[in-house]
Amino acid sequence: MIKVGLTGNFGMGKSTVAEIFRSLGAYVISTDKIVEELLNEASVINEIKRLFGQDVVSGGKLNKKYIAQIVFDNPLMRIYLENILHPKVFEKIDEIIKKIPERGEPKIVVIEAPVIFERGYQNRFDVIITVWTPDEIAIQRLQKKGISKQEAIKRLRAQFPIEMKKSKSDYIIDNSGSVEKTKAQVEEIFQKLTALEHRYAGN
């Protein structure tokens, strides 16, 4: 089994690439979906409430917009929140991976995770892929989804520069063009990963 960390900055298309990997036969795990589930757990809600105060909870649920506003304005609070969530996220990832059948496909597990480099998680993966576009394209795409330019810029600045992530990755996917161009790059990388997995399996 090969564990692939799929990363990139806000609005650059990690989810699009993850879905292409899934269509090719990879097992895809979304850390965003895991976080979404965790944020509905009572014990996690209580931990976050202790960190941010009573105002983050409304009707027994977390006010995610309010939390996002705080963490993107205050990097230290973002780190505190990540310290609560990330250990639990990796526990869930380990649980999911253990349930993947040992025999048969898929043997390539793609874990979609936005802050691999920011938190020094590189060693948790066998291979790291960065999806990128120029910031201007990411901002334009986010604006089409209803996110303001100011908010998009703020979130991009909260992450490491994409050029740094590209320089530290095993593979890079340019997602600034058409879906067909992106798919061709993913297919080529998937073939290489499959060959690599077969070599692993042979040892």
The per-residue pLDDT for 18 is 97
- The annotated binding site for ATP is made up of 11-16
Angstrom distances, CA of residue 196 to CA of 38, 88, 108, 122, 203 = 33, 30, 10, 19, 11
> What was the pLDDT predicted at 184?
98
pLDDT of 200 reads: 64
pLDDT tens string 36-53: 999 999 999 999 999 888
Report the binding-site residues: 11-16
Q: Which residues of the chain have pLDDT under 50?
A: none
Burial of 75 (0-12, 13-18, 19+ CB in 10 A): exposed
